Amino acid sequence: MFSHLLDWASVPAHLQFNRFVLGGYRPLQSVAECVQSLFYLHNELFNILSHGLPILFFAHYATDSHTWDQISHSWLAYLNYAAALAPHLGSLSYHLFMNHKSGAGTYFRLLKLDMCGVWAVQTLGALTTIYATFYCNKLLQTLMLTTYILVSSWTLYEAVHATSVYKRMCSFAAQVAIRVLTLLVRVSPLGYGNPYSTKHTFLMDAFAITGGVINLLRVPERFWPGKFDYFFNSHNIMHVMTTIGVLHMHWGAVGDIMWASQYQCNV
């Protein structure tokens, strides 16, 4: 039934991005055929579903009435909602249509869209943390938010123009450095924010960075080429860890938004 699937050597060069995944590749397809590939097994199906299904989850969970009624008054709530959906929407589009018959040009445009989703969750998702951490120092809060937005603007340019997995990962280094600095301030006597949210702030980046490193190293398929073509390869693992990281981002943001709506600074 799936005899039309190809091996690594038979697909175009732009689809040969993981030499340790040896089989299960879809041929070049039309839009309709790409959509039909949702209903049979191939080596991108897990990637599609693992970021496609969370869209439905976040669309409901992130705006459930119990939570949304308490935080919807804040502009940060809408940024958090966008941050939760963006990487999954970008990744779904990329993985579903990456083998479109129009070729490499479409592939690289979809890859840029995927990078925009990654950028959005790292940029929009961090604004709540920065806002809460420097909550009672408005000058420093404004400075940190402005700096992060400016750095993020450059990050977006670097991410969409990167030519390798390693360069794409490194393009987010400056953002990560600012978030680490923010976390250090947060756990110091100078920091603010909901204590409940601090662990989620840490876990958000811990899962995302670990998943990114696993994807960069191509583990475990590097050691057993062809054994993880359909499930549990490095990109599959990264997808799962990314979604867990987004969950922690959401939980942390909700805690901080609710905290900020009640906390009174001593000025």
pLDDT at residue 65, rounded to an integer: 63
Query: Is 114 inside a domain boundary?
Result: yes
Letter string b/e over residues 221-257, b meaning 16 or more CB atoms within 10 A of that residue's CB: beeeeeebbbeebbbbbbbbbbbbbbbbbbbbbbbbb
Q: CB of 25 within 8 A of CB of 11?
A: yes
Query: What's CA 117's distance to the chain center, in Å?
Result: 6
Range of the domain at 201: 8-260
Is pLDDT of 242 > 90? Answer: yes
Query: Is 267 inside a domain boundary?
Result: no
CA distance 211 to 238: 4
pLDDT tens profile 136-157: 999 999 999 999 999 999 999 9
Which residues line the annotated binding site?
Answer: 95, 235, 239
* Number of domains the chain is built from: 1
pLDDT at residue 264, rounded to an integer: 94
Q: CB of 242 within 8 A of CB of 169?
A: no
Q: Average pLDDT of the chain?
A: 95
Is pLDDT of 39 > 50? Answer: yes
Of all residues in the chain, what percent are helix, strand and coil, respectively (each to 5)?
70, 0, 30
Which residues line the annotated binding site for Zn(2+)?
Answer: 95, 235, 239
pLDDT at residue 59, rounded to an integer: 81
Query: Is 43 inside a domain boundary?
Result: yes
Is pLDDT of 54 > 90? Answer: yes
> Which of the residue ranges 45-59, 111-125, 212-226 would you say has the lowest mean pLDDT?
45-59
pLDDT at residue 251, rounded to an integer: 93
Backbone angles phi, psi at 6, to 5 degrees: -110, 160
Q: Two tokens at 133?
A: 């951490």
Is pLDDT of 105 > 90? Answer: yes
Cis peptide before 220 (omega within 30 of 0): yes
pLDDT tens profile 61-89: 767 767 778 887 899 999 999 999 999 99
Query: Is 1 inside a domain boundary?
Result: no
pLDDT at residue 67, rounded to an integer: 76
Q: CB of 130 within 8 A of CB of 75?
A: no
Q: Which residues pair with 152 in a beta bridge?
A: none
Question: How many angstroms separate the first and last alpha carbons of the chain?
Answer: 71
CA distance 44 to 31: 15
Residue type, 191: G
Mean pLDDT, rounded, for 99-108: 98
Mean pLDDT, rounded, for 234-247: 97
Query: Is 12 inside a domain boundary?
Result: yes
CA distance 16 to 219: 17
Query: Is 2 inside a domain boundary?
Result: no
Query: Is 228 inside a domain boundary?
Result: yes
CA distance 55 to 84: 8
Query: How many CA atoms lie less than 13 Å away from 236 in the CB half-sphere?
Result: 16
Mean pLDDT, rounded, for 209-225: 97
Query: Is 200 inside a domain boundary?
Result: yes
Mean pLDDT, rounded, for 100-104: 97
Q: The whole model's pTM is what?
A: 0.94
Mean pLDDT, rounded, for 170-196: 97
Nearest Cα neighbor of 42 from 58, 57, 23 is 23
pLDDT-derived band at 1, boundaries 50, 70, 90: very low
